[in-house]
Amino acid sequence: MDYIKIRFGNEFDRLGSHLERTLQEIFRPRPINPMFACKDCGWVPQMDIYETDKEVFIWAELAGVDKEDLQVEIHSKAVRVHGLRKELPKPSEGGYRLAEIRYGRFERVVYLPSPVDTEVVTSNFNNGFLSIRMVKLHSNEVHKIPISDG
């Protein structure tokens, strides 16, 4: 069964998203933000971010990556996934006719749509997919601020 991903939002969101993807493709494998640049990274994994009222989910496609070569770091506003995909062994004779799979170090930093509680996170790695489940921090509390004279 085929499916189509639909992104809801206004025209500005679509233009910004298209421009961001175009810039990422032009400068790939380097991230746009030089602060997070990984000079040895050879590829960038594809990811989906899904949000509910209470949680944020991330799925990363990491086919061919061993769990031992995978690291996840989380901040209340961002997630960093990085690691290594080792090259598959090849017969000694012969040569490439097509080479599209990228190997080596990878890194992806994604900014979260809402702050999350870094203490309440679960992750799972199965069939080449990393799934991360995070609970949102809710800041619905109202704080009264005293006003001083002066």
Read off the pLDDT of residues 86-120 as tens digits, 9 standing for 90 and up: 998 888 888 888 888 899 999 999 999 999 999 99
> Tell me, which fold does domain 34-87+103-136 have in CATH?
Immunoglobulin-like (2.60.40)
What pLDDT, in 10s, does the model give residues 135-147? Answer: 999 776 677 888 8
Task: Give the three-class secondary structure for 39.
Answer: coil
d(CA 88, CA 84): 12
Mean pLDDT of 129-135: 97
Task: Kindly list the domain boundaries of the chain, sorted by start residue.
Answer: 34-87+103-136
Mean pLDDT of all residues belonging to the chain: 81
